[in-house]
Amino acid sequence: MGRDRGPKNKLSRREGKDLFGNGSKSLERRLNQPPGMHGQNKRRKESEYGVQLREKQKVKRMYGMREGQFRRFFRNAQRARDLTGVALLKLLERRLDNVVYRLGFARTRPQARQFVNHGHILVNGKRVDIPSFLVVVGQEISLNEVARKIPEVSEMIDNPLYVPDWLRANNGVGHVVRDPEREEIDQDINEQLIIEFYSR
């Protein structure tokens, strides 16, 4: 099953969350209204399975992953020392495209993934063009010279956004200081529902 490439605002409205970090005011006003004719009037009460599926789909779309890839991350999380749900979120946060986004080098995760795909991201000085590459503590993540000359990127470097404490960013160079903690990851994710979905 391929990555979901449907209209981004429609997907966000379906989940009631800005999945892609677009931050548009018109989307913000319509998040509580599902897509469809008049938002289908109201959100219908979903089955237990439906709620679990929606949560899994929401998180999968947030991180821009295919089903098979997301399932592999879940299996890896099951083998980790942490609770499975927490381990899953920590793995997702350590994806290179997400780290580029968290460091403030890109405005959205899709843009960060594009930078990685186009070879604009260096890890310890070497180009890495695999969005799902997992960073580890001590690694340096930086933008190449081509990316630094993109006006939007240059502006973001000069006016950095909030960077979580597990990362450090300075002038287009980031460092992984430690692994992320659960409280530093989106609080409106219910990882237990994802565990229940895959445990059926």
Q: What is the CATH number of the domain that holds 49?
A: 1.10.1050.10
The C-alpha atoms of residue 87 and residue 99 are separated, in whole angstroms, by 16
35-41 contacts at long range (C-beta below 8 A, 24 or more positions apart): 35/10, 39/13
Position 160 scores a pLDDT of 84
Query: Distance between CA 92 and CA 161 in Å, rounded?
Result: 20
Same domain, 47 and 104: no
The answer to whether residues 19 and 84 belong to one domain is yes
Q: Which residues fall within 8 angstroms of residue 14, CB to CB, at 6 or more apart? A: 34, 35
Assign residue 136 the CATH number of its domain.
3.10.290.10
Q: 3-class SS at 188?
A: coil
Q: pTM of the full predicted structure?
A: 0.80
- On the CB side of 22, CA atoms within 13 Å amount to 17
Residues 6+ apart with CB under 8 A from 20: 8, 11, 12, 62, 108, 109, 110
| 168 located within any domain | yes
Same domain, 125 and 53: no
d(C-alpha 148, C-alpha 172), whole Å: 8
Cross-strand partners of 134: 95
Instruction: Give the separation between CA 104 and CA 121, rounded to whole angstroms.
Output: 13
Same domain, 83 and 99: no
Query: Is residue 99 in a domain?
Result: yes
pLDDT tens string, the chain, 200 residues long: the values are 455 656 666 776 666 767 767 666 665 666 666 666 555 555 567 899 999 999 999 999 999 999 999 999 999 999 999 999 999 999 999 999 999 999 999 999 999 999 999 999 999 999 999 999 999 999 999 999 999 999 999 999 988 889 999 999 999 999 999 999 999 999 999 999 999 999 98
Number of compact structural domains in the chain: 2
Range of the domain at 69: 8-88+187-198
The predicted pLDDT at position 140 comes to 98
Which are the contacts of 65, defined by CB distance < 8 A and separation ≥ 6? Answer: 3, 73, 132
Give the pLDDT score at 23. Answer: 64
Given this model, what pLDDT does residue 18 score?
A: 72
Pair 120, 192 in one domain = no
Q: What is the pLDDT of residue 45?
A: 78
Inside any domain, residue 149: yes
In a domain, 1, yes or no: no
H helix or E strand, kind and range, residue 167: strand 167-170
Give the up-direction half-sphere exposure of residue 27: CA atoms within 13 A in the CB hemisphere: 18
113 and 70 within one domain: no
